[in-house]
Amino acid sequence: MNQTLLYRDHIIATLNEQDADFPTFWGTINLSAMDPETPVIVREYIEWSITTWPKIESDTYTADDAEIEEQKFGNLIQSSDWWLEGTDKERIPILIPCFQSNNEANWRIDPSRSTT
């Protein structure tokens, strides 16, 4: 299923959901659709996530990495401004996605928010 990833009203990427193991979903991502007005901190988080993902997969993600993430990106991590939007324009609230270097991403639906 093709969807658009949004932060607030900024288009971040297009996503093609490939699979899920609830509560986690994953798929391919195309960042070339990113809105040029996307906040710098979001762009920095994406780059950080892409370069950090190999550490997470190899279990070398350290407490120092986690501290950097929390200090620099804490507001983004806690933000309720992340959405997926389908072709029908319905918005699905999600938690901050994780970006990977192989043009993939994973995300979770935000259970604390409702689209109704």
Instruction: Check pLDDT > 90 for residue 23.
Output: no
Read off the pLDDT of residues 86-96 as tens digits, 9 standing for 90 and up: 989 999 999 99
Neighbour tally for 108: CB within 10 Å: 15
Confidence of residue 43 (pLDDT cuts 50, 70, 90): very high
pLDDT score, position 63 = 78
- pTM for the structure as a whole: 0.85
Rg (the chain; Cα; Å): 14
